[in-house]
Amino acid sequence: MVDLNNVSLFFLFLTLTFLSLAYFIFQCYSGPPNKNSCPQSYPLVGNLVGFLLNHHRFHDWVADMLSTTPSLTIQVNGFLGLSHGICTANPANLDHLLRSNFSNYVKGTRFRSILHDLLGYGIFNVDGDLWFTQRKIASHEFNTRSLKTFISDTVQYQLSNSLIPYLSTACDNHDVIDLQEVLSRFTFDNICNVAFGVDPAWLDMKRVGETSLVSSFVQAFDYAVEVSFNRFMLPLPAIWKIKRLLNIGSEKRYKEAIEIINEYAMNIIRFKEENCRNDDKQEKNQDLLSRFNHSASNLGFLDQDQKRRFLRDIVISFILAGKDSTSTALTWFFWLIAGHAQCERLIYEELSAASAEARLASFSYDDLKKFNYLHAALSESLRLFPPVPINSRLTISDDILSSGTYVGKGWFADYSAYAMGRMKRLWGPDCLEFRPERWLDDDRVFQPRDQFNFPVFHCGPRTCLGKDMAYVQMKSIAAAVMYEFEVVAIDGGGCRERIANPPYVLSLILKMKGGLPIRLKRR
Ligand code: HEM
Ligand SMILES: *[C@@H]1O[C@H](CO)[C@@H](O)[C@H](O)[C@H]1NC(C)=O
Ligand SMILES: *[C@@H]1O[C@H](CO)[C@@H](O)[C@H](O)[C@H]1NC(C)=O
């Protein structure tokens, strides 16, 4: 999911940049120069640019550093002591940070001030009671079986009405398509259906090229995320605050984008209100927004507008959560499968065995539950390519982690899910191999890992609420696509060497660089 909290990754990134810079300079002045690690010229910008050119390796670089420490934890001291923090890949420390001493590690004020314009008081951006209330409502709603069937029905409907027909056309025309882009449109469509009961018909081919309400919303949303993200990058928060005050440049366009986003979200809410009045059938209102609205009735809102604003924040948070997370996960999955013919065969066999009952490429919620090998393959792909690669908290008071590491008040405390998935000490010497079998017991039944060893969906009280939904989406899409087509990656797919050195973008979400160009072959 798009967790904006992870923008602190950029803070860590900047801090580490400064740290390495300081280190290089220190080396340059204190020892014999080494041509490789210490460039001959010392202009700060020069070194910085050199580092930025290597930033595609950022997560691997962090993983390398973490793996050399006995505690799987590093302390990070910022340039000129401007910031301090730790970064860990140690499961015991994760348990401490995210569960046993949960109240000492929060999102904090910096995130709130930066993200408030976009997220308001939505679940991602708040701590304490404001978070707890929303969490209680949401976790109740997310755990009903009726929601799960609703999700899987919605996914199935969209699969047979938009994705599979779209792919069939591409297949017949021998087109090369960007699977990452196609999947991301699909999941945006899906989150709108599931969360609000509104279909933006985003994949509808007739609409391509047309500027619809939806596409201006998506554009505004992506822009707002980008600007929020850049706010974190600035060395001084005063810069964006002054720009906002003067209403100039990116802050001016940002404000316009926020208006478009809020207007669109409010339209959804008004649309639901009108539909609600004309319609007494309860089954029609299975979507999350209706459920939230129902549960929020007794939260004691002062007036209707206040309640609407609350619902609007919910709408925006869910879009943020559901827009790119599952599509990114699936992109890496298809890439890995394209490079592992044996795994592909095993998945296809599993699907074929079920399809005696399941009609063509349409698998029910109960069918999906039986796919142990597919579940294992998806988990294995998430281990190597967690959509949220690094995450961060702010420390309230001084504390000592399980590994004995000291964390001071006001420090950031980060964990790298990416590094943890690639740690020999956690997964064994074959940790860089894509091997779904490691998740299966002797009877080929899926065995989940302890959450602190596999924090892809976060851990503890703030664990991802959409995990089950994400698996239903991923399994339905993977099953439908793989049952109909063989996906041929133009680059040959994710083999062992590429897994160790993968093409990712350094951003909130671990997207594949340049997308995933593929061709399809019919089964
Ligand atoms: C493969 C897909 C997904 C992954 C890897 C993922 C991962 C995560 C992570 C790491 C967090 C922790 C964020 C933080 O507090 O810092 C989170 C939170 C959350 N996720 Fe997901 N997510 C996925 C899909 C979804 C979907 C489809 C939804 C549904 C709308 C969703 C809803 C949420 C919500 C509501 C939270 C906030 C929980 C809270 O703060 O109490 N996620 N997710
Ligand atoms: C929320 O519930 C109230 C009362 O049940 C209803 O009048 C209103 O239309 C609902 N709003 C939304 C956005 O579903
Ligand atoms: C949790 O953090 C507090 C600081 O707020 C510290 O005093 C306490 O010892 C920690 N608790 C545990 C169980 O480590």
* pLDDT values of the chain reduced to their tens digit, one per residue, 523 residues: 433 344 444 444 445 454 444 444 333 333 333 322 222 223 333 334 434 555 678 899 889 989 999 999 998 766 555 678 899 999 999 999 999 999 999 998 877 888 899 999 999 899 999 899 889 888 887 888 878 888 888 999 999 999 999 999 999 999 999 999 899 889 988 988 888 888 776 444 444 455 567 778 888 988 898 888 778 766 677 889 999 999 999 999 999 999 999 998 888 888 888 877 665 555 567 788 888 888 777 677 768 888 888 899 988 998 888 888 999 999 999 999 999 999 999 999 999 988 765 555 578 888 899 999 999 999 999 999 999 998 889 999 999 999 999 999 999 899 999 999 999 999 999 999 999 999 999 999 999 999 999 999 999 999 999 999 899 999 999 999 999 999 999 999 999 899 999 999 877 789 899 999 999 999 9
Within a domain: residue 333?
yes
**Ligand 3 atom closest to Cα of residue 96:** 14
Within a domain: residue 70?
no
Within a domain: residue 104?
no
- Provide the 8-state DSSP code for 162: I
Q: Is ligand 1 within 6 A of the CB of residue 376?
A: no
Within a domain: residue 507?
yes
Helix (H) or strand (E) holding 467, with range, is helix 467-484
Within a domain: residue 354?
yes
Please tell me the predicted confidence (pLDDT) of residue 451: 96
Within a domain: residue 117?
no
Q: Whose CA is closest to atom 26 on ligand 1?
A: 466
Nearest Cα to Cα of residue 378 among 307, 293, 446 = 446
Q: Is ligand 1 within 6 A of the CB of residue 470?
A: yes
Q: Rounded to an integer, what distance in angstroms lies between the CA atom of residue 125 and that of residue 290?
A: 22
Domain count, the chain: 1
The sign of the CA dihedral 271, 272, 276, 281 is positive
Q: Rounded to an integer, what distance in angstroms lies between the CA atom of residue 112 and that of residue 311?
A: 18
Q: Is ligand 2 within 6 A of the CB of residue 273?
A: yes
CA of 398 relative to ligand 3 center, distance in Å: 8
Helix (H, G, I), strand (E, B) or coil at 228: helix
CA of 403 relative to ligand 3 center, distance in Å: 14
Within a domain: residue 74?
no
CATH assignment of the domain containing 347: 1.10.630.10
Q: In which domain, by residue range, is 494 found?
A: 131-522
Amino acid at 491: D
Q: CA Rg, the chain, in Å? A: 23
Tell me if 459 is assigned to a ligand binding site: no
SS3 content of the chain, % helix, strand, coil (to 5): 60, 10, 30
Q: Whose CA is closest to atom 13 on ligand 2?
A: 269
Q: Which ligand is nearest to the CA of 99?
A: 3
Q: Whose CA is closest to atom 20 on ligand 1?
A: 464
**Ligand 2 atom closest to Cα of residue 290:** 14
What does pTM read for this prediction?
A: 0.86
Q: Rounded to an integer, what distance in angstroms lies between the CA atom of residue 25 and that of residue 201?
A: 55
Nearest Cα to Cα of residue 44 among 64, 24, 67, 65 = 24
Q: Whose CA is closest to atom 6 on ligand 2?
A: 273
The answer to whether 371 and 440 are in contact (CB under 8 A) is no
**Ligand 3 atom closest to Cα of residue 398:** 4
Within a domain: residue 163?
yes
CA of 276 relative to ligand 2 center, distance in Å: 6
Nearest Cα to Cα of residue 509 among 368, 324, 364, 365 = 324
Nearest Cα to Cα of residue 5 among 312, 391, 382 = 391
